[in-house]
Each structure stands twice: as C-alpha cells, then as structure tokens.
C-alpha cells in the first residue's frame, strides 16, 4: 500500500485539513441557521450565539409564511431549476453524442460554435432577450426563465459531455449496432449510464447558479405568480429597513432543496459502473 497514505501522521494531517476546510465552508450556513431561530435583538447583540430560551423565536419563519406566497415561490424555483436541468442534460448530451460520435462536415466548427457560449456571458444579451420575450409574449412566464437557463447551461454541458463521450469505447457502441440497437437506444442505454458522473458534474455546476439567480427572474418574470424564491426573499430586504429574521428564515429554507438535489447528484458522481465494461 501507498506509504504516504498509511502513515498515521499524514493521515491525521490530511483529515485535519479536510475538517478545517469543512468548518470554514459550513460556517456561514451555520450562522444563517442559528440566527434564523433568534429574535431580532439577539441577532444583532450576539450574532454567533446559539438561540437560548429567551432569544429563541420563530418570528422569521412566521413572517415568511404569512407574507407573500412562499410555497408558490418555492414551487416556481423548483420547476424552473428541475426543468432547465433536464433540458440542459438531455439536449447537451444529445449534441455531445452527435459531435463525438459522427463524422460530418463542419463537426469541429459546430463544436466550437456550441462552446463559444462559455466565454460570452448571457447577461450581455439581456435587453435583446427581454425584447424577444416581449415579442413572443413570454414575459412573466416560467417558460421564459427555463428557456434562458437552458441556453445558458448548454455550452458548458456540450463541452464537458462531448469530452467524456469520446472516451466511451467505440467497441461497445459498435457491439450495440451489431446487436440491432437503434442509435437512440445506444445513446440512452449504453452511453448515458457510462457518462453519468459527467452528467452529475454538469448538473451540479448548473443547478446552483440557476437556483440562486436574481437577475433574470427580476427582469423576465417579476410577477407575483412567477416569482422565484430568491426574488421572493427580496421583499424582506428594503432600502432602509431589512427584516433580517425573515431573510434568514427564507434563506434557511431555500438551502434545503438544493441540498437534496446535491445529495442525489453527488451519489451519482461517486458511483462508477464502468468497471468491467471494457478492459
């Protein structure tokens, strides 16, 4: 076995570094969580103290539940994120498969064109997008957000997935062709399971910016019935007065779904079923 890995001192140092990093990374989340359960005064007096008997308060959560339709925002965020991710993964993987698998004229140019979006921030086109959405009557619909996020996520997805798909054994795909599988079956049944870790990576990379985005919901879908969670939480942040209890409670609740999605995807990240497919 590897010397460096079996040495107890190295092991301790390695775990020490990882634990330290975990603490640093989780600290802000921890602060948000504890403060969301405190009274307003207690938040400002001792921001780092745990909620005690006299400082404990659910006022933040109550405000969030009362004011605005929190569950609707939540549902909107969820729909936008999940549908956008599905589209990004599906179309990204399909485009990547075509680019990596088939020889056709302009393959390379097409690949570069699709990857170009990585370098150009989509927000530069906000005005044009807004005009387009107005023209098509999509303003204040979740469809508008889904379309924009799909477009925003595709370049990176195509770029990453096509690299991974090139590594999938040609023999495997050819074996499928000889066994009479259609190109779609080969794509869905043979190739996709093998690039699952890459799909999970793409999903995680795209999920968080979409969930947290304020820009496009504010511009394209600010109506009450299409507000996303991030936009909905903004009502508590005012120019002069901010209801910190409510903001912190809303944030705490917004963490949950992302956490669940992340757990689902990271399990896929770890899992590798490729062993034994090809030598």
Binding stretches for other proteins (CB under 8 A): 169, 171-172, 174-181, 189-190, 193-194, 273-279
Residue 81 CB, nearest approach to other proteins (Å): 28
Residue 171 CB, nearest approach to other proteins (Å): 4
Pick between residue 63 and residue 100 the one whose CB is nearest to other proteins.
100
Pick between residue 172 and residue 218 the one whose CB is nearest to other proteins.
172
Look at the block and give the residue holding tokens 């699709």.
Answer: 114
Task: List C-alpha distances in Å: 118 to 121, 148, 273.
Answer: 7, 14, 30
Give helix 142-166 / helix 196-212 axis angle, nearest 10°: 150
**Contact yes or no for 169/101 (Cβ under 8 A):** no
Residue 264 CB, nearest approach to other proteins (Å): 19
**Contact yes or no for 92/111 (Cβ under 8 A):** no
Listed residue (204, 257, 207) closest to 196, CA to CA: 204
Residues 6+ apart with CB under 8 A from 58: 37
Pick between residue 79 and residue 172 the one whose CB is nearest to other proteins.
172
Look at the block and give the residue holding tokens 């590798």.
Answer: 272
Residue 100 CB, nearest approach to other proteins (Å): 16
Residue 114 CB, nearest approach to other proteins (Å): 23
Cα angle 90, 275, 179 (rounded to 5 degrees) comes to 65
Residue 104 CB, nearest approach to other proteins (Å): 12
Pick between residue 186 and residue 203 the one whose CB is nearest to other proteins.
186
Pick between residue 86 and residue 174 the one whose CB is nearest to other proteins.
174
b/e for 120-130, b at 16 or more Cβ within 10 A? eebeeeeeebe
For 100, half-sphere exposure in the C-beta direction (CA atoms, 13 angstrom radius) is: 23
Pick between residue 107 and residue 136 the one whose CB is nearest to other proteins.
107
């Amino acid at each position: 076995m590897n010397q460096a890995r079996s040495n107890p001192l190295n092991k301790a140092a390695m775990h020490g570094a990882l634990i330290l990093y975990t603490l640093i990374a989780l600290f802000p989340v921890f602060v948000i969580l504890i403060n969301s359960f405190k009274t307003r005064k207690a938040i400002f007096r001792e921001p780092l103290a745990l909620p005690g008997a006299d400082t404990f308060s659910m006022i933040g959560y109550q405000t969030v539940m009362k004011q605005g339709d929190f569950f609707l925002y939540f549902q909107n965020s969820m729909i936008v994120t999940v549908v956008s991710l599905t589209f990004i993964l599906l179309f990204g993987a399909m485009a990547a498969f075509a680019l990596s698998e088939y020889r056709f004229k302009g393959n390379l140019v097409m690949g570069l064109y699709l990857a170009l979006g990585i370098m150009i921030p989509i927000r530069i086109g906000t005005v044009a997008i807004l005009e387009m959405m107005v023209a098509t009557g999509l303003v204040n619909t979740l469809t508008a957000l889904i379309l924009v996020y799909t477009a925003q996520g595709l370049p990176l997805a195509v770029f990453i997935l096509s690299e991974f798909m090139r590594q999938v054994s040609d023999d495997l795909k050819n074996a499928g062709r000889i066994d009479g599988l259609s190109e779609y079956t080969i794509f869905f049944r043979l190739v996709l399971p093998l690039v699952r870790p890459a799909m999970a990576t793409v999903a995680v990379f795209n999920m968080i910016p979409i969930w947290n985005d304020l820009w496009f919901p504010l511009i394209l879908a600010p109506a009450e019935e299409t507000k996303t969670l991030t936009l909905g939480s903004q009502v508590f942040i005012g120019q002069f007065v901010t209801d910190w209890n409510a903001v912190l409670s809303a944030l705490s609740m917004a963490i949950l779904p992302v956490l669940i999605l992340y757990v689902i995807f990271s399990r896929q990240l770890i899992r590798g079923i490729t062993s034994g497919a090809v030598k």
